[in-house]
A and B are shown apart, each in its own frame.
Chain A
Amino acid sequence: MLEQLRQTCRELLEEKKADVIIGYGQDTEGPGTHPVFITKPEDVAQLVWSDRCFANLTVYLTNKLILATYCRPAVIVKGCDARALVVLEKDSQVNRETMTAIGLACAGVGEPRAAKCAACDVHMPRHTDLVIGEVENAPVAPSPRYAALEEFMMKTPPERLQYWLGELSRCVKCYACRQVCPMCYCERCLADKNRPTCIDTSAHLKGNFAWQITRAFHQAARCVGCDECTRVCPAGIDLRLLNLSLARAAEANFAFRPGLDRDAAPAVGSYSLQDKENFIQ
């Protein structure tokens, strides 16, 4: 599978169908991987594929530096990353005509497996230009998508607030959750606006709450659940719960899951006359 991936990438570069391959490279120490940007056919041997390929590389497709340097990127995506690609295309952030999406069959990442992988139903990437590999011993029926959230919601609202008061007090406002998110592509983030300040910038509960509410809600019905924000959080805050709550609400109310259907209208940005409004007096 790895050989096939390298061969494909070499051909893409040689035939000038791509001018950069955004993929995974092996860390010098340990089993981890990091993003690599391959521009020469002879360098494709740097590409690796393992269950440590966590990063969602679609985030680089909207990166200003990448956009300024390359015009025909090829990106290596897992099933969940491919969903992000569909959303980016829907948001008019990527041009699928000039880019190549190389899908890799993924049985799950991390050891033990990441939380998202238990409920994964996109082991084979969809809507990519090509898919390499097969998922061996494909997992049986995926576990319920919102299990973690449902367990959390068993708590009473004051208990939930207490939990977040503790969690968000550790947030240091490093904005790693924003930088790593493919959906956070705004040229100027609301959190960086200071005339007037919208979100308190100091690492204090007031601004931390406002920031996490903002971050989560800006991805409402767009977050594909790649869980990169949760993985990179240096404070170990379970941001996944916030994303899950919005994903569940979008699925329950609008029967919408982002990134699965290229033709579906996005849940936020469209509407139906039949939308429920039982909370409106």
Chain B
Amino acid sequence: MSETNVFEPKIIAYVCNWCTYLGADLAGTNRIEYPSNVRIVRLPCTGRIDFNLIVKGFEMGADAILVSGCHPGDCHYTAGNYHARRRWTLFRELLATLGIDLERIHFTWISAAEGKRFAQVITDITEQTRRMGPYEDYRKICEAPQC
């Protein structure tokens, strides 16, 4: 296989402004290297992360999606992450019923001090997604002939 044909996963990370985004920032200022496969989308709070963004991410061709925010108790808005946690619990069940691959949706808590952990998480997800290959299932949905 020529080098141009090697599969590079496309990963979207929806992160909260106050913890995970600063964690990524810390990784950068500490010159910690992590794969460039990730596209970070900064949002005010995990409580703001609409599940539609996850669907949209897959529609736009993401192979894996990471949703990450403040550890419980650390939310800048006191309780945004607790609300998000409830919604994710339910949302995962819905996706499981639809047969969407839950291995491609990751949820983590990463604080502003965990630059190293952020790099590790991104590396792990990239490696895992690379092993799984492109997310053909959702492409099948998006590229189906008009019904």
Binding site for B on A (CB under 8 A): 149, 152-153, 155, 157-165, 169-170, 190, 198-200, 202-206, 209-210, 213-214, 216-217, 220-221, 241-242, 245-246, 248-250, 253-254, 267-273, 275-277, 279-281
Tell whether B107 is near chain A: CB-to-CB under 8 Å.
yes
Q: Which of B17-25, B35-43, B79-87 contacts A (4 or more CB under 8 A)?
A: B79-87
- Name 21 interchain pairs, CB-CB below 8 A, sorted by A: A152-B97, A165-B141, A190-B52, A198-B56, A202-B146, A205-B141, A213-B94, A217-B91, A249-B89, A249-B92, A249-B94, A250-B90, A267-B90, A273-B82, A275-B89, A276-B89, A277-B72, A279-B88, A279-B92, A280-B85, A280-B107
Which parts of B86-108 form the interface with A (CB within 8 Å)?
86-102, 106-108
**B90 contacts which chain A residues (CB < 8 A)?**
217, 220-221, 246, 249-250, 253, 267-268
Are B147 and A245 interface neighbours, CB within 8 A?
no
Are B88 and A242 interface neighbours, CB within 8 A?
no
Binding site for A on B (CB under 8 A): 51-52, 55-56, 59, 72, 79, 82-83, 85-102, 106-109, 121, 137, 140-142, 144, 146-147
Are B59 and A206 interface neighbours, CB within 8 A?
yes
Are A164 and B51 interface neighbours, CB within 8 A?
no
**B108 contacts which chain A residues (CB < 8 A)?**
280-281
Given contacts A275-B82, A281-B106, contact A216 B87 (CB under 8 A): no
Nearest neighbor of B137 in chain A, beta-carbon distance: A161
**A204 contacts which chain B residues (CB < 8 A)?**
144, 146-147
Tell me which of A220, A250, A253 has the highest count of chain B C-beta atoms within 10 A of its own C-beta. Answer: A220
Say how far B129's CB is from chain A's closest CB, in angstroms: 14
**B95 contacts which chain A residues (CB < 8 A)?**
213
Given contacts A209-B55, A209-B141, A217-B51, contact A254 B86 (CB under 8 A): yes
Say how far B137's CB is from chain A's closest CB, in angstroms: 6
Are A213 and B99 interface neighbours, CB within 8 A?
no
**In the bound complex, what is the Cα–Cα distance between A153 and B95 (angstroms)?**
12
Say how far A28's CB is from chain B's closest CB, in angstroms: 35
Are B99 and A164 interface neighbours, CB within 8 A?
yes
**B51 contacts which chain A residues (CB < 8 A)?**
213, 217
Which of B72, B96, B99 contacts A163, CB < 8 Å?
Answer: B99
**In the bound complex, what is the Cα–Cα distance between A64 and B56 (angstroms)?**
31
Are A253 and B89 interface neighbours, CB within 8 A?
yes
**In the bound complex, what is the Cα–Cα distance between A158 and B140 (angstroms)?**
12
**A203 contacts which chain B residues (CB < 8 A)?**
146-147
Which of A153, A198, A220, A241 contacts B87, CB < 8 Å?
Answer: A220
**In the bound complex, what is the Cα–Cα distance between A30 and B76 (angstroms)?**
60
Tell me which of B85, B89, B99, B100 has the highest count of chain A C-beta atoms within 10 A of its own C-beta. Answer: B89
**In the bound complex, what is the Cα–Cα distance between A30 and B68 (angstroms)?**
56
Are B86 and A275 interface neighbours, CB within 8 A?
yes
Are A279 and B82 interface neighbours, CB within 8 A?
no
Nearest neighbor of A158 in chain B, beta-carbon distance: B99
**A250 contacts which chain B residues (CB < 8 A)?**
90
Are A242 and B94 interface neighbours, CB within 8 A?
yes
